[in-house]
Chains A and B, each alone.
Chain A
Amino acid sequence: MIKLITKEFRSVLKLDLNQTLRTKGFWIYSILFGGFIAFLFVSGITETQIIGFVGLGRLMVTFMQVCMVIIPIYVLITVVRSIVGDKENNVMEYMLSLPVSFSDFFWGKFVAKFIVIYIPLFVSLLLAVIWGAISNLDIPWNMFFLYSALLAAMVFCFLGIGMLISVYARSQDFAVSFAFVIWLILVAFIDLLLMGILLKFRVDPQWVIGIGMLNPLQVFRVGVLVLFDPKLTVMGPAAYFILDTVSRSAFIVFSILYPISIGLLFAWWGNRRFNNKDVI
């Protein structure tokens, strides 16, 4: 970790942050999520109750469900183009003619991407809390902290996967297509396909749960609902089985550490490849 914080790492990080802050895409993304929170408040969602979710908690759950749909594919599509894009447009040739190690370049970009993707999400959640406080709503702090951590873990996870794809890809088109396929597979392996497997092949439910636990999207989905009483109709079968099998506190720890581990593993793999192969 000490090696990461070099002058070169900081320079690349700052450079990438500055470049991203100058893009319209970043501001559209930030305003979209901040605006979504505002829209939820204005639409009166905190005054409704559906299957036990109420108040600011209901708003946060809705926000997290939207994040689950949008964030993974957004992170992948954004990140997979970074390394391969720099290769294609000659940025890499010039930047890596400067005395910056491959690892500083890779991790500098990684951390910069994490910041610009995660901070708008965190600020949106914070905005919800502030708005809730002003509106005299009860603030579910446990949800706020859990969801902040879950979002960070999910962004980290898909960032790692995206960086690995970007290092291996020969073109941006291939990288984006491959990322989309990965996302489709992960989406398919949430409850729907898991139950299909369970029914068709009479697989032991423990195996199905095991597969579900490997899917970071499924882990995120269950993590979002973990603070509530497990109800089959709300959670879906795999999530219900998972929470019926493992303890709530164990799953909270798992739902944060597992995606971070996945992200770290894939990013480490990507960095290793980046260091050992042609960089252009």
Chain B
Amino acid sequence: MIDVDKQLVRAEHLTKSFNGVEVLKKITFNFNEGDRIALIGQNGAGKTTLIRCILGQYVFNGSLEVLEKNPRTDRVNILKEVGFVPQIPPPLKLTVRELLKFYSTLSNTSADEYIDIAESLGLKIKESFKKPFLALSGGMKQKLLVSFALGKKPTILIMDEPSANLDPAAREIFFDYLGKYNKEALLLLSSHRMDEIKNLVNRVIEMDFGNIVVDKKFSDIPFV
């Protein structure tokens, strides 16, 4: 049962500056249970900075609560409930097997569950066990990271341009997964391709120069 009033992320006057330049400008918002949000905006709008604040990677001014906790002081407990796919896969020298073991140890999800999802996305993961993650193609890396994020079954799923490197077949399966994903979870998708994610989201937030300039239900957006 979705509690639409249950706030999973709550920000009040959230501000983040770099060298005196405000990248997030006193933004206030709530992300609720069941929200499937398209986070859009041009480069430099503040999307990635917002995501990094939620992940507890930046210090900030104002107030920000994730799962009713402070993302800086209670980061580890929050991140147990968060799945994240970055825009640029990290150049890890680890083998796929080592990365899988590392991720499953930290997430308390069995390696087999991740393998199942990876294979359903078209990644023959067992054949790549001995390969360094770095040596995989862009699409393979992305599939593996998406598998980790989905397999963890997080309450908050954050994806920064997750489908950018996926081939059409994998993209279709990926969106199918997301469409069926736990409806009580919060889904935050940063994407430039609104046409691709329009069937997945129910809310659109547009950022521009550190401000939230649009925050509407998807059905209320005129261009839809």
Contacts and interface: CB of A to CB of B under 8 A. Distances in A.
Interface of B: 52, 55-59, 75-77, 79-80, 82, 84, 86, 88-95, 98, 102-103, 105-107, 132, 145
A278 B57 contact: yes
A91 B91 contact: yes
State the 8 A-B residue pairs at the shortest beta-carbon distance, nearest first.
A97-B84, A99-B79, A91-B90, A94-B90, A99-B80, A19-B93, A99-B76, A278-B58
Contacts of A14: 102
A18 B79 contact: no
Contact of A8 (B93, B94, B106): B106
A197 to B, nearest CB: 39
Contacts, number: 78
Contacts of B93: 19, 22-23
A127 interface: no
B59 A277 contact: yes
B106 A98 contact: yes
24 contacts: A11-B102, A15-B102, A18-B98, A19-B92, A19-B93, A19-B94, A90-B88, A90-B91, A91-B91, A91-B92, A92-B57, A93-B52, A93-B90, A94-B89, A96-B57, A97-B79, A97-B82, A98-B107, A99-B77, A99-B80, A99-B106, A99-B107, A102-B75, A280-B57
Given A18-B94, A19-B92, A99-B80, A280 B58 contact: yes
Say which size band chain A's interface belongs to: 20 to 34
Given A22-B93, A280-B57, A100 B76 contact: yes
A169 to B, nearest CB: 16
A7 interface: yes
A11 B106 CA distance: 8
B43 to A, nearest CB: 16
A101 interface: yes
A280 to B, nearest CB: 5
Interface string A103-135: 000000000000000000000000000000000
Contacts of B56: 96
Contacts of A97: 55, 57, 79, 82, 84, 86
Nearest to A89: B91
Contacts of A96: 55-57
A199 interface: no
Contacts of B90: 89-91, 93-95
Contacts of B94: 15, 18-19, 22
A264 interface: no
Given A19-B93, A23-B93, A7 B105 contact: yes
Contacts of A18: 94-95, 98
B132 to A, nearest CB: 7
Nearest to A96: B57
A93 B57 contact: yes
B132 A22 contact: yes
B92 to A, nearest CB: 7
Contacts of B76: 8, 99-101
A214 to B, nearest CB: 34
